[in-house]
Structure 1
Amino acid sequence: MILVTGGLGFIGSHTVRALQDMGEDCVLVQRREAEVPAFLDAARAAVERADITDLPSLLDIGTRRKITGIVHLAGSMPWPPGSDEPIDATRRALGGLFNILEAARSWGVARVGVASTIGVYSGVAGEGALHEDMPLPMTSPHLIPAFKKIGELLNDHLAGATGMDIVNYRISATWGPRGHVDPFFAAPELVHAAARGTEPDLSHLRAPAHAEDSIDLCYVKDTGRAIALLQLGDRLGHRTYNVASGRATSNAEVAAAIRTVVPDARIELPAGEAGPRNHLDITRLQQDTGYRPAYDTERAVADYIAWLRAGNER
């Protein structure tokens, strides 16, 4: 069984679906109670309520379940920021990551995958492909990439020191069913507004959106499948992988795809772009797992709108 922290969340639930499609049973670990989504095979998805910062309760899962691998998608960072005393919050956040790795060693699991983010590349100069071996700035503009960088360094150290197989997933901007409107990119709100028949409200974005603004957008079903392939691959040649579509998608491309489904969608974005046109290089992921994105922009938009129009809130 593969233990997935955050297994009932956005990316987690789609990762579980992909693992199930590949023949794996899963243990879904959540801190709060939540229902198993209908698109999962509930008979093959055992739910355990546990806090990863509580090592005894985490280890107890292994006394009742035969855990063969771990996909750690729950955030090992102080979140929400400012809600706790910062030193204690940081200690708990990193302690959660250490507990996952301690459990992995205790259970003798084959591989531990840990979520990182496209945000670690923030501040890298230039346009084009972003490679896993690129030097990264030591600073970060946001708490999330800062702690993901810390986690990657710790994982690299502990993999070497313990001999465990620990893999970092640098996950690109991910959108699709069960996702939230995101403060970093406009695409989810553009789709939600089209499905509602309203004008998009982009006031939540950290910066104004422009038509040519672009980012590596990966549909969540592709994200989940890529993570599942990395978890189950026989042999991986690296410790860090970009999990992405491998191309930059602009807001204008998303808008055009939306209009093929909703011709009267009210999308008006100013011309121009706010930053460089980058994407994550996925050569390493493709070579080691055979992954290829199944959803281009048009297919992703059509699938997402159909999901929302079926009565799903997000």
Structure 2
Amino acid sequence: MILITGGLGFIGTHTTRALLDLGESCVLVQRRQGASADERVVVEQADLTDERALLSIGERHKITGIVHLAGSMPWPPGGHEPAEGAERALKSLFNVFRAAQEWQVSRVGLASTIGVYLGASGESPFAEDVPLPMTVAHPIPGFKKIGELITDHLAGAMGIDAVTYRIGAIWGPGGHTPSPFFGAPQLVHAAAHGTDHGDLRAGDGMDLLYARDCGRAIALLQLAERLRHRTYNVASGRRTTNGEVAAAIAKLVPGARPHLTESPETGLWLDVTRLREDTGFEPEYDTGRGAADYLAWLGAGNPR
């Protein structure tokens, strides 16, 4: 069974589905008690900062791999006193590695973010070997950089096969709206509900990857027989602008003509050569298909 922290969250839900589709069973860990949604899915209640509670899961299930998607950062602001928040974030990561060693899992995958490339020298697409700046503009990429360094150290020192996913801008069913980082979710929700999408610029873009594709990419990395690297960009390999998303929506929703402020194209995107070569992954959802699927999901009465 694959243990997934954050398995009931946005990316976790799609990763779980992808692993199930590939024949795996999953154990989802969350702080609050929850019910199982599938005969091959078990939900376990545990705080990742509680080492004993986490390790006890291995007494009830045969864990063969770990996908660590739960937030490893003191976020949102004010959730904890700053030093306590940082301590909890890092303690969760250490406990995941302790569990991996005790259970002798085949691989640990850990979520990072496209945000670690912000401020990097050079131009997109950024590959995984680009030197990253020590400065950070936001706590999320800051703590992800810290996590990547700790992961690299512990993987070597403990002899654990650990892989970091630098995840792009993910959009689709279950995602948070509005997003503070990119405009696609706002545009889709505005078209679905006839509301205002806010002040968005046509040229602003990012490496968008549809949520179902993201889950499948992570599942393929978790299950690959052999991986040649410790870090993988999980993205589409291209920049998608707000203007492109708006054009796709206009073809799908009669009368929807999102008004965007004209602007030059900006936004980084990633080199996904490693991901393609080592897993065979190719996105199944382009902008148009993703927008259509997202609109259909919202039209079915889902809240997000």
**Same-fold status (TM-score > 0.5):** yes
Is contact 1:127–1:276 with CA below 8 Å preserved after alignment? no
- Confirm whether residue 284 of structure 1 aligns to residue 274 of structure 2: yes
- 1:269 is aligned to 260
SS at match of 1:120: helix
Is contact 1:242–1:281 with CA below 8 Å preserved after alignment? yes
Q: 1:36 to 1:253 in 2, by over 3 A?
A: farther
- 1:172 is aligned to 168
> What letter is aligned with 1:305?
L
- Confirm whether residue 189 of structure 1 aligns to residue 186 of structure 2: yes
Instruction: Give 1:266 shift.
Output: 4.2
Instruction: Give 1:278 shift.
Output: 2.3
Which deviates further from its counterpart, 122-131 or 10-19?
A: 122-131
- Confirm whether residue 82 of structure 1 aligns to residue 93 of structure 2: no
- 2:302 is aligned to 312
Instruction: Give 1:84 shift.
Output: 2.0
Q: 1:191 to 1:35 in 2, by over 3 A?
A: farther
- List per-residue Cα deviations over 1:92-150 (Å, max 9, x = no partner): 11000000110010000000000000000011234321110000100110000000000
Regions of 4+ moved over 6 Å: none
Q: 1:34 to 1:264 in 2, by over 3 A?
A: farther
Q: 1:36 to 1:248 in 2, by over 3 A?
A: farther
- 2:68 is aligned to 72
In the alignment, the residues of structure 2 paired with residue 198 and residue 84 of structure 1 have an alpha-carbon distance, to the nearest angstrom, of 34
- 1:303 is aligned to 293
- Confirm whether residue 21 of structure 1 aligns to residue 12 of structure 2: no
Give the number of aligned pairs. Answer: 303
In the alignment, the residues of structure 1 paired with residue 180 and residue 25 of structure 2 have an alpha-carbon distance, to the nearest angstrom, of 34
- 1:4 is aligned to 4
Is contact 2:170–2:214 with CA below 8 Å preserved after alignment? yes
Aligned positions of 1:133-282 closer than 5 A: 133-181=129-177, 182-202=179-199, 209-273=200-264, 276-282=266-272
- Backbone CA RMSD of aligned residues: 1.3
SS at match of 2:75: coil
Taking structure 2 as the reference length, the TM-score comes to 0.97
Is contact 1:126–1:276 with CA below 8 Å preserved after alignment? no
In the alignment, the residues of structure 2 paired with residue 19 and residue 3 of structure 1 have an alpha-carbon distance, to the nearest angstrom, of 11
SS at match of 1:7: coil
- List per-residue Cα deviations over 1:185-229 (Å, max 9, x = no partner): 111010001011222135xxxxxx310111000000000000000
Instruction: Give 1:91 shift.
Output: 1.2
Q: 1:199 to 1:80 in 2, by over 3 A?
A: closer
Taking structure 1 as the reference length, the TM-score comes to 0.94
Which deviates further from its counterpart, 174-183 or 27-36?
A: 27-36
Instruction: Give 1:313 shift.
Output: 1.0
SS at match of 1:3: strand
In the alignment, the residues of structure 2 paired with residue 20 and residue 277 of structure 1 have an alpha-carbon distance, to the nearest angstrom, of 34
> What letter is aligned with 2:156?
G
- 1:205 is aligned to none
Q: 1:82 to 1:199 in 2, by over 3 A?
A: closer
In the alignment, the residues of structure 2 paired with residue 35 and residue 64 of structure 1 have an alpha-carbon distance, to the nearest angstrom, of 16
Q: 1:56 to 1:232 in 2, by over 3 A?
A: same
> What letter is aligned with 1:296?
D
In the alignment, the residues of structure 2 paired with residue 123 and residue 35 of structure 1 have an alpha-carbon distance, to the nearest angstrom, of 42
- List per-residue Cα deviations over 1:58-116 (Å, max 9, x = no partner): 00100000000000000111122233221122111100000011001000000000000
Q: 1:174 to 1:34 in 2, by over 3 A?
A: farther
Is contact 2:34–2:45 with CA below 8 Å preserved after alignment? no
SS at match of 1:218: strand
Instruction: Give 1:36 shift.
Output: 5.5
Is contact 1:31–1:51 with CA below 8 Å preserved after alignment? yes
In the alignment, the residues of structure 2 paired with residue 86 and residue 136 of structure 1 have an alpha-carbon distance, to the nearest angstrom, of 24
* Percent of residue pairs bearing the same amino acid type: 63
Structure 2 spans left out of the alignment, 5+ residues: none
Is contact 2:68–2:108 with CA below 8 Å preserved after alignment? yes
- List per-residue Cα deviations over 1:261-298 (Å, max 9, x = no partner): 1131141111114x744211100000000000000000
> What letter is aligned with 2:193?
R
